């Protein structure tokens, strides 16, 4: 999001009496180097959604409300076959505990910065810019060859994703360390080099 986007959304919703709900399904649970993405700003949302990251692979989703929004949605208003599932809740509790004990929010911030440095340091003519926060990284390509880069990375045994024609999305595990980053950089470099010379 552009700088100031969330602040403007907060200002507009407050002025018109609307709730500000931030979808933290991808950006939550430490991914961006803060527990939740909105914490990179000074705003307070009325509610956030959480899912993927809090389950560590186990299916769970939730809505977390703050302040007066917490009075709007009450017990019995939302039926769901598997809602409030005790196993899923226990798994999410364990995952959150591991993220906390392992210092993985801080690791996401530190390793994200290292990956950015590595990608920019490759000196590839295909890399125009590196965007993102923590371990949610977008590599902006100078040509619309994201599909070819994804396919070539796959041949190198590296899973990355084309967010659009000219962006590669990198979202490694929060536990990533030196060895994996070195291996990523080597494989990604080979993939970029192959595509650049095609």
Ligand X SMILES: *Cc1c(COP(=O)(O)O)cnc(C)c1O
Query: In the complex, what is the shortest distance from the CB of residue 112 to ligand X, in angstroms, rounded to a whole number?
Result: 18
- How many Å apart are CA 55 and CA 92, to the nearest integer? 5
Residue linked to tokens 């977008």: 138
Instruction: Tell me whether residue 133 or residue 192 sits nearer to ligand X (CB atom).
Output: 133
What's CA 43's distance to the chain center, in Å?
Answer: 19
Which residues would be at the binding site for ligand X (CB under 6 A)?
A: 23, 25-26, 51-52, 61
Instruction: Tell me whether residue 52 or residue 193 sits nearer to ligand X (CB atom).
Output: 52
Query: In the complex, what is the shortest distance from the CB of residue 178 to ligand X, in angstroms, rounded to a whole number?
Result: 28
Instruction: Tell me whether residue 126 or residue 137 sits nearer to ligand X (CB atom).
Output: 137
Cβ(34)–Cβ(105) below 8 Å: yes
Query: In the complex, what is the shortest distance from the CB of residue 61 to ligand X, in angstroms, rounded to a whole number?
Result: 4
- Residue nearest ligand X, CB atom distance: 25
| Residue 134 burial (10 A CB sphere; 0-12, 13-18, 19+) | buried
Query: In the complex, what is the shortest distance from the CB of residue 50 to ligand X, in angstroms, rounded to a whole number?
Result: 10
- How many Å apart are CA 24 and CA 20, to the nearest integer? 12
Instruction: Tell me whether residue 48 or residue 148 sits nearer to ligand X (CB atom).
Output: 48
Residue linked to tokens 């000074």: 42
Cβ(177)–Cβ(190) below 8 Å: no
Instruction: Tell me whether residue 56 or residue 128 sits nearer to ligand X (CB atom).
Output: 56
Query: In the complex, what is the shortest distance from the CB of residue 6 to ligand X, in angstroms, rounded to a whole number?
Result: 15
Closest listed residue to residue 163, CA positions, set 8, 57, 26: 26
């Amino acid at each position: 999001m552009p700088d100031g986007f969330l602040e403007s959304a907060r200002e507009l919703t407050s002025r018109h009496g609307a709730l500000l709900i931030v979808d933290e399904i991808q950006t939550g649970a430490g991914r961006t180097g803060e527990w939740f993405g909105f914490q990179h700003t000074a705003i307070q949302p009325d509610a956030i959604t959480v899912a993927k990251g809090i389950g560590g692979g186990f299916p769970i989703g939730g809505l977390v409300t703050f302040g007066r929004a917490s009075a709007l949605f009450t017990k019995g208003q939302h039926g769901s076959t598997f809602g409030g599932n005790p196993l899923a809740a226990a798994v999410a509790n364990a995952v959150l505990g591991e993220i906390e004990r392992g210092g993985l929010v801080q690791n996401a911030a530190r390793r994200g910065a290292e990956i950015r440095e590595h990608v920019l340091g490759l000196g590839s003519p295909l890399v125009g810019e590196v965007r993102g926060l923590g371990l949610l990284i977008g590599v902006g390509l100078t040509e619309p060859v994201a599909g070819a880069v994804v396919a070539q990375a796959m041949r190198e045994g590296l899973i990355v994703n084309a967010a659009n024609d000219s962006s590669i999305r990198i979202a490694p595990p929060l536990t990533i360390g030196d060895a994996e980053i070195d291996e990523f950089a080597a494989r990604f470099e080979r993939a970029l080099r192959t595509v650049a010379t095609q």
